[in-house]
């Protein structure tokens, strides 16, 4: 088993209490489906972010920033990607990028 980081980009934020409840129910349902594959359920990111260049200069993140993450365990990148295809972030118009993480230390 390997660890895979799911990075979320974009998507809409629920505005009403009813929409918030619906979205949370979708996430709870997806996490239930994933079961033991979840290593870290993750969290959303705050909208402000900084990037540090190789020259040490600090700037604001531009483009489509990441909006949150989840860490899963799966047998392969294809398996992790298959699990990510059911992510509720996709229902809100967002996208998911899947990376394999590996131990180096």
Q: What is the pLDDT of residue 14?
A: 81
Backbone angle region of 11, left / alpha / beta, with phi > 0 → left and psi within -120 to 50 → alpha: left
Above 90 in pLDDT, residue 2?
yes
Q: How far is CA 31 from the centre of its chain?
A: 12
Antiparallel, parallel or unpaired: β 66-74 and 2-9? antiparallel
Angle (nearest 5°) at CA 95 between 41 and 14: 70
For 1-17, b/e burial (b = at least 16 CB within 10 A) is eebbbbbbeebeeeeee
Q: For the chain, list the domains and their CATH numbers.
A: 2-101 (3.30.70.1060)
Which pLDDT band, with edges at 50, 70 and 90, does 46 fall under?
confident
Interval 20-38: pLDDT, tens: 999 899 999 999 999 999 9
């Amino acid at each position: 088993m390997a660890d895979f980081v799911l990075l979320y980009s974009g998507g809409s934020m629920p505005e009403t209490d009813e929409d918030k409840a619906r979205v949370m129910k979708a996430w709870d349902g997806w996490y239930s489906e994933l079961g033991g594959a979840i290593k870290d359920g993750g969290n959303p990111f705050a909208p402000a972010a900084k990037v540090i260049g190789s020259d040490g200069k600090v700037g604001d993140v531009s483009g489509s920033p990441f909006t949150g993450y989840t860490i899963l365990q799966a047998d392969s990148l294809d398996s992790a990607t298959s699990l990510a295809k059911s992510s509720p972030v996709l229902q809100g118009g967002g996208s998911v990028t899947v990376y394999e993480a590996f131990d180096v230390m």
